[in-house]
Amino acid sequence: MSLYSTQRLHALRMIVTGGGTGGHTYPALTTVHTLQARLAETGTAPELLWVGVASGLEATVAARNDIPFKPIITGKLRRSTSPRDLARNFVDAFRIPLGVVQAAFTVARYRPTVVLSTGGFVSVPIGLAARLFRVPLLMHEQTLSLGLANRILATVATRILLSHEASLERLPAKARSRAVVTGNPVRPAVLRGDAAKGLAAYGLDPAVPLVLVTGGASGAQQVNRMLSGALAELLPYCQIVHQCGGLSLAEMQEVARGLPAHLAHRYQVYDFIHDELPDLLAAATVVVARSGAGTVAELTALGKTCVLIPYPYAAGDEQRITARHLAARGAAVVLDGDEATPAHLRDTIGGLLSDPRRRAELGQAAAGQGRPDAADQVVTELLTAAANA
């Protein structure tokens, strides 16, 4: 075997930590599934423990995927100076040491071969405990700019896994020699979408361009209202499937009822698109979306022509930073600030639909920024660190 012996594989015990949001949680889950598949080829399986917050998304995801879960108490240091957040920081200042103690006991008892951290404030105690017990710690950053938790862990991590080449310059100089660009793990299902299945499942016309609009799992009111004002003028030229989120479903259904009768069939709105999303992505001519780390990883891995509308209140302004990074490389069109209007959305989508060459250039540039093999790269780094421990 290349990097590790059969004995090592049998002994591989990994703690996964990270969560709070899907952006931290799902890359960890994808990595776990990829690791399991890699080791299954050798007839072995990793022993896993996910450490997170009992009320966090990570607890639900771990339970659904039969991954043992250990909750710890921890706190979060908020950068806001509002009285409410200052009060919460004061309370959390007493919780953080307790979480560190719990993390130390967890690492000492579980004795992992390697620890994978994907960010979020819950990852800091386990990361520090890994350092204390000299367990290899691999830290993964999904965004272009490092979050606060990962800036802390970058000082102690054995290996720093980045999603973007441009993130290297944002690391302290001493940490750069420990960094490698792997990309952000993308769910395998996203890469296996079937355009014909997507069109058939939603009764779409293969002869009419499809525009897929999504504000993420919970929707985005800004995106929904921009689309509302552009729908009637876009539908003569395309068909639109829209994931609007539960809070806006009734509002968007009312918009749909007001469309001209001869165009109404070209607009379909849903609160959430489930397992069919990869097939719709495969079928889409243009995708309109937020610029969160997971969304961008998927769109670039697929080389999609995309219009990004960054969430203006994202932590650290990460969505704007990511969107502008792609736009500067010709890999996306960005509507932000004064340009985030129905008229600009109408003109942008209309322009792309009428210009196949422009769409091809955007898609090719997006593919140049994508890393569809990111999960495999992260697993290789994990196994290398475990073999060298």
Coil, strand or helix at 260: coil
User: How confident is the model at residue 75, as a pLDDT?
Assistant: 56
Clarify whether residues 301 and 382 are in a common domain: no
User: How confident is the model at residue 13, as a pLDDT?
Assistant: 97
Residue 296 and residue 324 in contact, taking contact as beta carbons nearer than 8 Å: no
* Pairing verdict, β 333-334 and 306-308: parallel
Clarify whether residues 139 and 202 are in a common domain: no
Clarify whether residues 197 and 276 are in a common domain: yes
User: How confident is the model at residue 258, as a pLDDT?
Assistant: 96
Q: At a CB cut-off of 8 Å and minimum separation 6, what does 2 contact?
A: none
User: How confident is the model at residue 92, as a pLDDT?
Assistant: 53
Clarify whether residues 175 and 210 are in a common domain: no
User: How confident is the model at residue 40, as a pLDDT?
Assistant: 95
Clarify whether residues 361 and 269 are in a common domain: yes
- What is the separation of C-alpha 303 from the centre of its chain, rounded to a whole number of angstroms? 16
Sign of the dihedral through C-alpha 78, 80, 84, 89: positive
Tokens (6 digits) for 368: 């140049």
Clarify whether residues 193 and 178 are in a common domain: no
φ, ψ (nearest 5 deg) of residue 74: -150, 175
94: exposed, middle or buried (Cβ count in 10 Å: 0-12, 13-18, 19+): exposed
Report the pLDDT averaged over residues 310-327: 94
User: How confident is the model at residue 94, as a pLDDT?
Assistant: 54
Tokens (6 digits) for 361: 């250039």
- Report pLDDT digits (tens) over 217-255: 777 999 999 999 999 999 999 999 999 999 999 999 999
Cβ atoms < 10 Å from Cβ of 127: 31
Sorting pLDDT into bands at 50, 70 and 90, what band is 4? very low
* Whole-number Å distance between alpha carbons of 94 and 131: 22
Domain that holds residue 315: 189-369
Sorting pLDDT into bands at 50, 70 and 90, what band is 99? confident
Task: Classify residue 95: in a domain, yes or no.
Answer: yes
- Report pLDDT digits (tens) over 114-169: 999 999 888 999 999 999 999 999 999 999 988 888 999 999 999 999 999 999 99
* Pairing verdict, β 159-162 and 137-141: parallel
Task: Classify residue 11: in a domain, yes or no.
Answer: yes
Residue with tokens 């993390």: 103
* Whole-number Å distance between alpha carbons of 7 and 2: 13
Q: At a CB cut-off of 8 Å and minimum separation 6, what does 376 contact?
A: 34, 38
Clarify whether residues 157 and 198 are in a common domain: no
**CATH code, domain with 133:** 3.40.50.2000
Residue 233 identity (one-letter amino acid):
E
Choice among 168-177, 197-206, 281-290, 376-385 with the minimum mean pLDDT: 168-177
Clarify whether residues 242 and 255 are in a common domain: yes
Report the pLDDT averaged over residues 85-89: 50
Residue 330 in this model has a pLDDT that exceeds 80: yes
DSSP character at residue 308:
E
Residue 89 in this model has a pLDDT that exceeds 70: no
Clarify whether residues 40 and 12 are in a common domain: yes
User: How confident is the model at residue 319, as a pLDDT?
Assistant: 95
Clarify whether residues 255 and 378 are in a common domain: no
Report the pLDDT averaged over residues 344-364: 98
Tokens (6 digits) for 264: 């109404």
Clarify whether residues 196 and 339 are in a common domain: yes
Residue 86 in this model has a pLDDT that exceeds 60: no
Clarify whether residues 27 and 97 are in a common domain: yes
Tokens (6 digits) for 386: 């475990």
CA 120, 123, 128, 134: dihedral to nearest 10 degrees?
-130
Residue 3 in this model has a pLDDT that exceeds 80: no
CA 194, 197, 202, 204: dihedral to nearest 10 degrees?
90
Integer distance in angstroms from the first to the last C-alpha of the chain?
17
Sorting pLDDT into bands at 50, 70 and 90, what band is 2? very low
Task: Classify residue 145: in a domain, yes or no.
Answer: yes
Consecutive H or E run containing 181: strand 179-181
Sorting pLDDT into bands at 50, 70 and 90, what band is 93? low
- Report pLDDT digits (tens) over 49-83: 999 999 999 999 999 999 999 999 875 554 555 55
Please state the domain count of the chain.
2
Residue 31 identity (one-letter amino acid):
T
Residue 338 in this model has a pLDDT that exceeds 60: yes
Report the pLDDT averaged over residues 312-331: 94
Task: Classify residue 88: in a domain, yes or no.
Answer: yes
Task: Classify residue 234: in a domain, yes or no.
Answer: yes
